[in-house]
Amino acid sequence: MAVGDGGGGGVRRRGCGCSKEDFFPEESFSSWEAYRRALRSTGARLADRLTARSLDATELHEVRARSGADMKRDLTWWDLAWFGVGAVIGAGIFVLTGQEARNAVGPAVVISYVVSGVSAMLSVFCYTEFAVEIPVAGGSFAYLRVELGDFMAFVAAGNILLEYCIGGAAVARAWTSYFATLLNHHPNDFRIHAASLAADYSRLDPIAVAVIAIICLLSVLSTKASSRFNYVLSVLHVAVIAFIIVAGLTKADAANLTRDFMPYGPRGVFAASAVLFFAYIGFDAVSTMAEETRDPARDIPVGLVGAMALTTALYCALAVTLCLMVPYGEIDPDAPFSVAFADRGMGWAKYVVAFGALKGMTTVLLVSAVGQARYLTHIARTHMMPPWLARVHPGTGTPVNATVAMLLATAVIAFFTDLNVLSNLLSISTLFIFMLVAVALLVRRYYVSGETSRADRNRLAACIAAILASSVATATCWGLDRGGWVPYAVTVPAWLAATASLWALVPQARAPKLWGVPMVPWLPSASIAINVFLLGSIDSKSFMRFGIWTAALLVYYLFVGLHASYDTAKALAADAVAGKVEDGDAKTSAPPM
């Protein structure tokens, strides 16, 4: 049996299937001596994986087949659109709006939402082209494997998993906050204070864990059933948002918005944008459902772009409403909308708001659970993670093992960690991944192995390097708070020149087959620039945590993931060669059993 069979091919054993072969079936882990030989070859294997790129067909067929059963194709653009709304509108708008408006940006929080929304929409376009052409459960992990190679895909994969765990944990803790408001309690009344732990990790949240467990059960039963549940809750949620806007504007005071619109200056606007980007996270989960979509070429663009446009409009309207109701310095950071209505004499309305927020956060958790399990499934199909996690249950058509594993990790994080720590760290991971996807789109359009000339390839590499360098320089100048406009008069024109050079000097090597991002290279280059710029507005402690996590990923990769994926790739190549031999010799010999 080939190494790749560990994900789901071959003979199935009854029971839970938790032997060593389910987790480490590769040759490198067959014995301690084999593992020592693999470690001695780490340098050569790393060099191989750094340059190895997957193919669209490989991701669509060979890799997907390692899950055994197929996922059911029964989602439409309507399902995707409501999944998009359900995935995005949750803890970000109902919690972080108040936190950032009060402490970082003031009424200009609406501008922060616009900046974050533009960045998210640019990323939506990049994701959509990939999702249409490579409709698999792996999402950005699969896209990066095809265009940037195995190693970069793994670094992104680890951050994708972190993004989903942290995002789910943050929403679960926010769920507790609004549940407490609904019962006229402070959120900490429902949390256990462990005084011996650090302040950011000392409020233990058992309600968040219980909510995650219920969501886990729903998400493993059926994707279509989850879609219907999400649709009903999302429609109710949008109705509550409409109520908040209309009822809130009846209590509006224009002076609250205009008296001190930007108290923290432009720096506060962009610092808040970096954190509020958390409010837009979730749409990438919809791209992981491409494998379960009936007509990806039609359904994915309509569903993703439509959901993001609606979400951005609602966010801006909600932010304006909140700042019109309450002076920014009096906004409650835990449950801003509920408390705002109570303070304006509409105490009954806070229950409507809290109930609506709970529904919204429930849908976010559900879509996150569906998306993160599919990411992990596809990563495990490549054997960068144990292939046991890649199995799809033949009855439900869902990845049960991956769903339970991810939500168990999410529950542990939600139990301990404060929302502020989670939101900042989450934004770093997400912005980093979105930047890589934009780079991958440029590579996809301008480079085809065996067709692009060496000169064009070198010009492409130079232009992308210049786009990244100028974007990083702009973000660094902003992050270091160097006064004056002179640095930007150098870095911004450098970005423009690099993008224009790519547009004028390098011919596109590939045209999209079904649906393509408009204004290439300008749109993906702008996505790179704005994502990197927002990274420059995040605090240093979050970058330290991000660095520690990335270092841990590299350790895992060098000691486990590298060798497992190397063996799997070699086995797949050997199977392909054997298949060609069998096809060519079909008249004289039968294929081996």
Q: Which of 178, 169, 175 is nearest to 201 (CA)?
A: 169
Question: Which pLDDT does position 582 carry in this prediction?
Answer: 43
| Band (391; pLDDT cuts 50, 70, 90) | confident
| Band (220; pLDDT cuts 50, 70, 90) | confident
Maximal CA-CA distance, the chain: 87
User: Measured on CA atoms in the order 182, 183, 184, 187, is the torsion positive or negative?
Assistant: negative
Q: How many CB atoms lie within 10 A of CB 461?
A: 14
**Residue-wise pLDDT tens digits, 323-360:** 999 888 888 876 788 888 888 888 788 788 878 778 77
Contacts of 537 (CB under 8 A, 6+ apart): 267, 270, 271, 273, 274, 475, 478, 479
Q: Is 69 helix (H, G, I), strand (E, B) or coil?
A: coil
Q: What's the token pair of residue 343?
A: 């303070």
Q: DSSP state, 204?
A: E
Question: Which pLDDT does position 14 carry in this prediction?
Answer: 41
Kindly state the helix (H) or strand (E) to which residue 193 belongs, with its residue range.
strand 192-193
| Band (230; pLDDT cuts 50, 70, 90) | low
Distance CA 76, CA 307 (A): 13
Question: Which pLDDT does position 282 carry in this prediction?
Answer: 67
Contacts of 245 (CB under 8 A, 6+ apart): 317, 318, 321
Q: What's the token pair of residue 564?
A: 């497992």
**Residue-wise pLDDT tens digits, 507-555:** 998 888 878 889 999 999 999 999 898 887 777 777 887 888 889 989 9
User: Measured on CA atoms in the order 584, 575, 135, 460, is the torsion positive or negative?
Assistant: negative
Distance CA 528, CA 497 (A): 15
Select the more confidently predicted residue: 432 or 78: 432
Evaluate whether 394 touches 68 at the Cβ level (below 8 Å). yes
HSE of 225, CA atoms in CB hemisphere, 13 A? 10
DSSP state string for 115-140: HHHHHHHHHHHHHHHHHHHS-STTTH
Distance CA 337, CA 245 (A): 10
Evaluate whether 49 touches 149 at the Cβ level (below 8 Å). yes
**Residue-wise pLDDT tens digits, 170-209:** 788 878 877 887 787 877 888 888 777 777 677 788 998 8
Question: Which pLDDT does position 131 carry in this prediction?
Answer: 82
14: left (phi over 0), alpha (psi -120 to 50) or beta: beta
Report the chain's C-alpha Rg in angstroms.
24
Weakest-pLDDT range from 274-278, 573-577, 578-582: 578-582
Distance CA 403, CA 177 (A): 25
Q: Which of 143, 122, 136, 144 is nearest to 517 (CA)?
A: 122
Mean pLDDT, residues 230-249 taken together: 82
Per-domain residue ranges of the chain: 72-428
Reported pTM: 0.77
Mean pLDDT, residues 30-46 taken together: 91
Question: Which pLDDT does position 422 carry in this prediction?
Answer: 60
Question: Which pLDDT does position 8 carry in this prediction?
Answer: 41
Select the more confidently predicted residue: 365 or 255: 255
**Residue-wise pLDDT tens digits, 65-103:** 665 556 666 677 777 777 777 666 765 677 678 888 888
Give the mean pLDDT of the chain. 79
Q: How many CB atoms lie within 10 A of CB 486?
A: 10
Percent with pLDDT over 90 in the chain: 14
| Band (225; pLDDT cuts 50, 70, 90) | low
pLDDT at 585 over 60: no
Evaluate whether 292 touches 223 at the Cβ level (below 8 Å). yes
Question: Which pLDDT does position 592 carry in this prediction?
Answer: 36
List of E strands, 331-439: none
**Residue-wise pLDDT tens digits, 119-176:** 888 988 888 888 888 877 667 778 888 888 888 888 888 887 887 787 788 788 878 8
Question: Which pLDDT does position 578 carry in this prediction?
Answer: 60
Select the more confidently predicted residue: 200 or 489: 489
Weakest-pLDDT range from 14-28, 330-344, 380-394, 510-524: 14-28
CATH architecture of 72-428: Up-down Bundle (1.20)
Mean pLDDT, residues 415-426 taken together: 66
Distance CA 75, CA 295 (A): 9
Mean pLDDT, residues 4-15 taken together: 41
| Band (6; pLDDT cuts 50, 70, 90) | very low
Question: Which pLDDT does position 501 carry in this prediction?
Answer: 95
The terminus-to-terminus CA distance of the chain in angstroms comes to 10
Question: Which pLDDT does position 41 carry in this prediction?
Answer: 92
Q: Which of 394, 295, 277 is nearest to 79 (CA)?
A: 295
